[in-house]
Amino acid sequence: MVQRRRDTEAALKRLDRLLHNQPVKPQTITTDGLASYGAALDVLDLRHLPRPGRLPR
């Protein structure tokens, strides 16, 4: 899901829900480049995984 704005709490909730049901740890996480995802990944201690993408126009 791509949105133009998202706060850190919402991003943390979304990432936590998505990662909870995964059988293996992810090697990369592609996000839409919003800073809130970086902050959420800091909280989850996964800061080394994101690969920012581009927002669709």
Q: For every one of its 57 residues, what pLDDT tens digit does the chain have, with 9 covering 90 and above?
A: 566 666 888 888 888 888 888 888 888 888 877 788 888 888 888 888 877 776 555
The burial class, CB within 10 Å (0-12 / 13-18 / 19+), for 44 is: middle
pLDDT score recorded for residue 46: 85
pLDDT score recorded for residue 4: 61
Report field, pTM of the whole predicted structure over 0.75: no
Pairing between β-strand 29-31 and β-strand 50-52 as defined by DSSP bridges: parallel
Rounded to whole angstroms, the Cα distance separating 55 from 53 reads: 7
pLDDT score recorded for residue 27: 86
pLDDT score recorded for residue 47: 82
Question: Domain residues of the chain, as ranges?
Answer: 1-16+27-57
Element (H, E) at 18: helix 8-20
